[in-house]
Amino acid sequence: MPPRLAFDHIAVSAASLEAGVAYVCACLGVEVPPGGAHPKMGTHNHLMRLGENEFLEIIAVDPAAAAPKHPRWFALDRNRTAPPRLATWVLRTNDIDAVLAAAQPSLGPATELTRGNLHWRISVPDDGAMPFEGAHPTFLEWPPGPLPGAAMPDLGCRLVGISVHHPNAGEIAERLAAFFADDRVTFVPDDEIRLTAEFETPNGPRRLS
């Protein structure tokens, strides 16, 4: 059986970081600080802590970076003009090869990524898409040691719950049931594909979708 998975982070995609930061600020009432750049993908991000090791990421194409010769992750090439949105959720594992070997359908290979001195492996389909259009989580493996989320800026926001809406929500839940359990995650059969996250913030309960 594959190793257990744990909630790692949620990702908001946007046409630009400025648009993504403004959207999250409008939803949660906080301005997420800068993170860094991902040279291999030609993207950059802003980051904030959501709990002991969990975090929120805002990601967009980096206009100052060279365009990669392969599709960017998080379906960013397909959504260059789309409004900011909660695009997907990410689970971490200590053995991504075992998890991906058991995954059906394929979630793509484990790709080596860097941001400054940080490095990790993450599942990225060859076409840059997200499994089940973001409703199925992406898988990630950090190197041994402290998790990076614990060192990110803490603006007092905490993830309370996330609702995963998809026509095949039950199938997604069944695929994850053997190695992931988190009472905060709810799977909702729905013709509309979307993610909705609930937070406690310094400004009271807030929602992001």
**How much is the average pLDDT of 39-50?**
97
pLDDT tens-digit series, residues 84-142: 999 999 999 999 999 998 877 678 899 999 999 999 999 999 999 998 999 999 999 99
* pLDDT interval class at 171 (50, 70, 90): very high
The per-residue pLDDT for 80 is: 83
Burial label, 204 (beta-carbon count in 10 A; 0-12, 13-18, 19+):
exposed
pLDDT tens-digit series, residues 184-200: 999 999 999 999 999 99
| Percentage of the chain exceeding pLDDT 70 | 98
Whether residue 164 is predicted with pLDDT greater than 90 in this model: the reply is yes
* pLDDT interval class at 1 (50, 70, 90): low
- Cβ distance 122 to 140 under 8 Å? yes
| Domain regions of the chain by residue span | 6-153
Fold category of 6-153 in CATH: 2,3-Dihydroxybiphenyl 1,2-Dioxygenase; domain 1 (3.10.180)
Cα 165 from chain centre = 16
How far apart are the C-alpha atoms of 29 and 204, rounded to whole Å?
9
Dihedral-angle region of residue 42 (phi above 0 means left; psi in -120 to 50 means alpha; beta otherwise) = left
How far apart are the C-alpha atoms of 172 and 162, rounded to whole Å?
14
Q: Give the mean pLDDT of the chain.
A: 95
